[in-house]
Amino acid sequence: MHAYRSHTCAELNKSNVGENVRLSGWVHRVRDHGGLLFIDLRDHYGITQVMADPDSPVFAEIEKVRSEWCIRIDGNVLARDESLVNDKLPTGAIEVFIRDIEVLGKSEELPLMVFGDQEYPEETRLRYRYLDLRREKMQHNMLLRSNMVSSIRKRMWNKGFNEYQTPIITASSPEGARDFLVPSRQHPGKFYALPQAPQQFKQLMMVSGFDKYFQIAPCFRDEDPRADRSPTDFYQLDLEMSFVTQQDVFDTIQPVMQGVFEEFGGGRKVDSEWPQISYKDAALWYGSDKPDLRNPIKMQVVSEHFAGSGFAIFAKLLEQEGTEVRAIPAPKGGSRKFCDRMNAFAQKEGLPGMGYIFWRKQSADAIAQEQGITVKEVNAKVKAGEITLGMEAAGPLAKNIGPERTEAIRQQLGLEMGDAAFFLGGKPKAFESVAGRARTVIGDELGLTDKDRFAFAWIVDFPIYEADEETGKIDFEHNPFSMPQGGMEALQGDPLKVLGYQYDLACNGYELVSGAIRNHRPEIMFKAFEIAGYGKDEVEKRFGGMVNAFQYGAPPHGGCAAGIDRMVMLLADEANIREVIMFPMNQRAEDLMMSAPSEPMAEQLMELGLRVIPQDQ
């Protein structure tokens, strides 16, 4: 028999009754039933119930066992009584009577319990990550990640892609985030960098004639942490293709992504129609360039209904250049209580408030005033069927702009009785993000968002440039290496109208994929950077390797990268990316388990020719 096990803790069933077996694993929990000791023995694969009574030759040893001890047991497989069968476990029809036991590893008092669903502070979980990872949910998440990556690889190979590895130590090349620098011992005073992405290398592969590349690539960025972003490193499905258009990239990656979500989505619906939405429309309709299309709310511009109206705040605002008023429809949100709650939400977001109108059944008071009769007479006529209570607009805005404008707004937004609309005004960039968050809250609170679904959308037509509001200086708003739509000709006109062949894939409010058709023409690249104030010498200095390569017959090429961590996070239905990373950093980019970052030894600094200057506290 094997030194540690003849079976895993998920394999035994009724067909094994009567066999002598050997199992190894961790003590999940111990139950003492008055002279009968039951142990749930756990390994990576599952749980088997093992038991002993005073007749067991090692009963005294078994009594000493505690939670999370690592043990080996030998014993006989017994069938459970029918009334004691546990249908929730693959091994629930049997138990093992212990004949021998060996303690492979004792456990000290546990800083966190593996059994059960008790919550612990994140600092505790990360400091004792090896214990946290023993928990069922974490085992499931990491196995999900492994299986998903395996599936991605198979799908890419089946599409004719080849996997190649790119360097981990390279030159510093800012791509929108801070580099992690690595000092060179052999070249004192010089530094390598950990790659933010394999961007330049995969483009150079296309110049080298490798037609289809992919890699499950580690990327390193010194960023501030967020719930959906690691502060140090992450993994992405990185791919690049030659002789392709934007649509070719979409047609390549969609079946891969859709297949993965169908395979691992736990039965949730996966949309097969992926709309292409311009960056401009996404900002207008959803207040975000990564919209959650499970929420059906689509915002609209309603400036015309407030221009010159009795609501002075919006009327005066619209006299300023570049301002507008947008409405957030709220089907089923037509109560003052809900409207007041959303107004409070806006105040928490730093705004004075959020105007609203809601539509309700017309009141007897309103009809009485309109017809010059008493409320009692109105109620009598309603009862007699002589008057039908219609619909009226309510709220401060409705009173200020009057019935004609409120009705025009209702019709534009397609709202009915019992619905509401919320309004924000100003320069769009100043309030779009708040409007987007308000849309999310409204969709969630009113039950409009379909939670049991994965909804994808391509965001396209990103502007390449933006102007600083104070100085008017033109700079890159998005990826500077995207091919401008229209090529060199597009760069001769207004820079703020230049769009790039750049695209993102959004799913349920997260950006999962980002990519572009690359600018492979040196003359167009130099011109694009010149508009943003970067001379040819600076471009060659920063990106010399790629620029030089493009002068030797570079093919048109494009690609994208999909965030592995975020994909797993969505599939595992987790709200924090640290739940799907084996050994993540905390929010201060610290590894509490390994005590990183740490102070270097004096010998290391001397060898590298470095000196650490103490920072003022």
- Cα separation of the two ends of the chain: 62
What CATH number is given to the structural domain containing 182? Answer: 3.30.930.10
Are residues 328 and 191 both part of a single domain?
no
Flag whether 6 is in a domain.
no
76 pairs with which residues across the strands?
Answer: 20, 97
| pLDDT over 70 (residue 317) | yes
**Beta-strand relationship, 420-426 and 355-361:** antiparallel
Are residues 485 and 572 both part of a single domain?
yes
- Distance between CA atoms of residues 127 and 119, nearest Å: 15
Domain of 75 in residue numbering reads as: 14-105
Flag whether 232 is in a domain.
yes
Give 521's pLDDT tier (boundaries 50, 70, 90): very high
| pLDDT over 90 (residue 598) | yes
Give 371's pLDDT tier (boundaries 50, 70, 90): low
Are residues 303 and 445 both part of a single domain?
yes
- Distance between CA atoms of residues 473 and 470, nearest Å: 8
Query: How crowded is residue 612: how many other Cβ atoms within 10 Å of its Cβ?
Result: 9
- What are the φ and ψ backbone dihedral angles of 74, each rounded to 5 degrees? -110, 145
DSSP per-residue string spanning 96-150: EEEEEEEEEE---S-SS-SSS-----HHHHHHTHHHHTTSHHHHHHHHHHHHHHH
For 47, the token pair is 């749980």
Flag whether 615 is in a domain.
no
Whole-model pTM: value is 0.91
Flag whether 502 is in a domain.
yes
Are residues 53 and 158 both part of a single domain?
no
pLDDT on residue 22: 98
Which of these three, 87, 105, 123, is where a domain ends? 105
What CATH number is given to the structural domain containing 429? Answer: 3.30.1360.30
Flag whether 153 is in a domain.
yes
Are residues 314 and 428 both part of a single domain?
yes
The secondary structure of residue 578, as a DSSP letter, is G
Flag whether 119 is in a domain.
no
What CATH number is given to the structural domain containing 51? Answer: 2.40.50.140
Are residues 82 and 162 both part of a single domain?
no
Are residues 370 and 312 both part of a single domain?
yes
Give 543's pLDDT tier (boundaries 50, 70, 90): confident
Are residues 445 and 464 both part of a single domain?
no
Per the prediction, the chain carries an average pLDDT of 93
Flag whether 465 is in a domain.
yes
Are residues 390 and 469 both part of a single domain?
no
Q: Which residues contact 502 (CB under 8 A, 6 or more apart)?
A: 460, 462, 464, 478, 479, 482, 514, 515, 516, 517
Q: Per-residue pLDDT averaged across 497-506, rounded? A: 97
> Which of these, 194, 195, 193, 199, lies nearest to 239 by C-alpha position?
199
Query: How crowded is residue 370: how many other Cβ atoms within 10 Å of its Cβ?
Result: 10
Which of these three, 403, 426, 449, is where a domain ends? 449
Which of these three, 105, 130, 162, is where a domain ends? 105
Asked if the peptide bond before residue 597 counts as cis, ω within 30 degrees of 0, the response is yes
Flag whether 605 is in a domain.
no
Q: Per-residue pLDDT averaged across 415-443, rounded? A: 95
Q: Per-residue pLDDT averaged across 158-176, rounded? A: 88
Are residues 423 and 313 both part of a single domain?
yes
Are residues 400 and 302 both part of a single domain?
yes
For the chain, the domain total comes to 3
Residue 523 near residue 250, CB atoms below 8 Å: no
- For the chain, helix, strand, coil in percent to 5 are 35, 25, 40
Residue 557 near residue 206, CB atoms below 8 Å: yes
State which amino acid sits at residue 132: D
What would the pLDDT profile of 319-352 be if each residue is shown by its tens digit?
A: 999 999 999 999 999 999 999 999 999 999 988 8
Are residues 329 and 430 both part of a single domain?
yes
What would the pLDDT profile of 12-45 be if each residue is shown by its tens digit?
A: 999 999 999 999 999 999 999 888 999 999 999 9
pLDDT on residue 370: 65
DSSP per-residue string spanning 238-284: EEEEES--HHHHHHHHHHHHHHHHHHHSTT-EE-S---EEEHHHHHH
What percent of the chain is predicted at pLDDT more than 90?
83
Q: Per-residue pLDDT averaged across 195-217, rounded? A: 96
